[in-house]
Structure 1
Amino acid sequence: MSENWKPGTFVHLDLTVPDAPGMRDFYSAVVGWKPEPLGDDWMMLAPDGTPVTGICHARGENADLPPQWLAYIAVDDLDACVAAAREHGGEVVAGPKGEGEGGYAVIRDPSGAVLALIERGTTCD
């Protein structure tokens, strides 16, 4: 993720699934990403070494995340954005997780689309 976030922009992409090793191997074979261990999960790198995405296990703190590609949008005030989502017909799927600066929440918009809001200070790479 970029350290020069602009609120309202997409800054990261993750895949959280029950079979993270299987998906790691799948995307390595299909698109040529190189896995780099990141705790029990993986940061996937483009062939030139640029971080592309994370592939994570759907367990522990991530057990309630939906098994799909999850885009993260940078926000300056996570609590305010979560409240605004609820006020405008959205719902919180997971979180907020993390405390203060650096947390995130997964929301579902009124159409059913899911994405994550992530506050400045969080590092995913």
Structure 2
Amino acid sequence: MENAKLGEIAWLDLTVEDAPAIRDFYKSVVGWTAQEVNMGEYSDFSMISSETNNPAGGICHARGPNAELPAMWLPYFLVADVEAAVAQVKANGGSLYTEIKSMGSDKFAVIKDPAGAACALYEKG
């Protein structure tokens, strides 16, 4: 995921009510370790591969920027221009779970495709 190319999965998040319990579940089941990601009043978690020592995905609280997201693994697909991609979502029968959001110089939006499946479109800044 670190060297994702356009159209590939650039990140993977899981948003849940009890992030510490689910963090511990995946630590036990998959063998990941966790690094805290300070979100201000709470911490989310970057899950680290034991083999590569690289981030494998995130486990997030259903709060703050993730408050409106359902509990599910959410792939972030890398796009060149998130605004143009969101326009295509709307033009092709999809809809938005979130408006376009900024995270530093990066931008993303969580979408729902015409079949109802969710994913995020991610533009690296």
Q: TM-score, normalised by structure 1?
A: 0.89
Counterpart among 44, 48, 53 of residue 47 in structure 2: 44
Moved more, 90-99 or 30-39: 90-99
* SS of equivalent to 1:116: strand
Deviation of residue 69 (structure 1)? 0.1
2:30 match: 31
Q: Which runs of 4+ in 1 moved over 2 A?
A: none
CA RMSD across the alignment: 1.6
After TM superposition, the structure 1 = structure 2 runs for residues 3-42 of structure 1, keeping only pairs within 5 Å, are 4-39=3-38, 40-42=43-45
Residue 100 of structure 1, CA deviation: 9.1
State how far apart, in whole Å, the 2-side matches of 1:26 and 1:100 are.
30
How many pairs does the alignment contain?
120
Over the matched positions of the two proteins, sequence identity in percent amounts to 47
Query: 1:1-125 maps to which residues of 2 (within 5 A)?
Result: 1-2=1-2, 4-39=3-38, 40-48=43-51, 49-98=53-102, 101-121=105-125
- Unpaired runs of 5+ in structure 2? none
